[in-house]
Amino acid sequence: MPRIPREELSEHFHYACRHIVHHLSGVQEPEEGLAVSVAVFLTQEATRWVEVCVRMEGYISISSLPKDLHLDLAESLNSLYCTLSNLGRHSEALPFIEESAKLYRQLVTLLFTQTPDLAGSLNNLYVTLSNLGRHSEALPFIEESVKLYRQLVAVHPGSYTPHLAVLLGSLCNALSDLGQHSEALPFIEESVKLQRQLVAIHPGSYIPGLATSLSNLASTLSNLRRHSEALPFIEESVKLYRQLVAIHPGSYTPNLASSLNNLRIALSRLGRHSEALPFIEESVKLYRQLVVVHPGSYTPDLAKSLSNLCNALSNLGRDSEALPFIEESVKLRRQLVAVHPGSYTPGLATSLNNLYATLSSLGRHSEALLSIAECVQIWRQLVVVNPGAHAPGLAHSLNNLHTALSNLGRHFDALMVRD
């Protein structure tokens, strides 16, 4: 949404957009005609009006409008949030979902209704903050959303149990993002239990949810280093996604590709590298097919899976075969960064680090140094913006830079890096 130059708008239009909230909030008891007109406007045009305001100058808080208009406002704000979020513009989306949640909270307090809408907005707020790397701030919102759905399930289990099962998985992810894996485990175990109950009654509808929860349970157990316990769950997840792809290939192929990668990780952690390789090869093959049809959506996944294929081959000592895949991953991630630097720069740093490792294993230390030096430069830039999220990446790459310099006999330079 590009900016609208001030000179392109009439003075009356500009004033109306900027100050309608101020004038309406000052009306104590609006007459029926005004109230109806405003309600129609907010129902049909609120999203467009808010967009115009944003494109002119900036977001306008509209929570001071009369309470009976808040539902229409909350729904419009949520729609605008969804649009921005789907475009990956999470920073711009944040104020809209914050105010949507605020309005729904007021409605729940005043009318004891709209609890599902409030819970949904809180979940969206959690997702947005998580996408921005603000995991500590995100956690309370998903916890509150889960609490609200537990209350709803107590009254209407048939209607709200599926939502609770999904949100329990999100709460597990939120805790895992903060390194609280032990605390996360009971929630994903509960999610799997609920999903199994749902599948027993309606297998056609809830198998995808069960497959997702099983994959998350496997990841949580792996984070706790309980790799042998994790393996059966990711194997079951892959099995379910294969069944879904056989029926709905267009819908579930991305999920199968992702779960195959997770199965590769689980086997690798158990040292079963030869068994792991075919699964990441299949994952890459699926992502290549998806990229042909939807390059904008699946190129990031292909780049990641290529990097993982490189790791799988390296684990088997096949570094020469691994090199073309990590080079392709770096190339794809450079293209992504050129278009969306904020979203894909960490991925580029990760691929450059893997390229360094592969080149080093092949004894190509001068080339390896260039890769890890660029990797360090990227992590330094990221740490300035978000030190909490990216400091570990910088520390790891600095250690590799030290090794790269030492491999070239540049011990003084290596010492300076270590210091």
DSSP characters for 32-43?
HHHHHHHHHHHH
Q: What percentage of residues in the chain have a pLDDT greater than 90?
A: 56
What number is the average pLDDT over the span 353-378? 96
pLDDT tens-digit series, residues 99-135 = 888 877 777 765 545 678 888 888 888 988 888 888 8
Res 203 pLDDT > 70 = yes
Among the residue ranges 86-95, 137-146, 327-336, 403-412, the one predicted with the least confidence is 86-95
Give the pLDDT of residue 63.
57
Q: Tens digits of per-residue pLDDT, 255-276?
A: 999 999 999 999 999 999 999 9
Closest Cα partner for 104 from 64, 72, 59? Answer: 72
CA distance 325 to 302: 10
Q: Are 334 and 326 in contact (CB under 8 A)?
A: no
3-state SS assignment for residue 60: coil
Is residue 39 scored above 80 in pLDDT? no
- Residue 108 neighbours by CB distance under 10 Å: 17
The residue ranges of every structural domain in the chain are 1-106
Handedness of CA 401, 404, 406, 408 (dihedral sign): negative
Over residues 23-43, mean pLDDT? 63
- 84-87 CB contacts, 8 Å cutoff, 24+ apart: 85/124, 85/127, 85/128, 85/131
Say if pTM beats, i.e. exceeds, 0.85: no
| Residue that wins the pLDDT comparison between 202 and 74 | 202
- Tell me the average pLDDT across 176-185: 93
Q: Which position has the higher pLDDT, 369 or 55?
A: 369
Q: Share the mean pLDDT of the chain.
A: 87
Query: Can you give the pLDDT at residue 112?
Result: 47
In angstroms, rounded to a whole number, what is the distance separating the alpha carbons of residues 354 and 358? 6
Of 73-77, 335-339, 356-360, minimum mean pLDDT range: 73-77
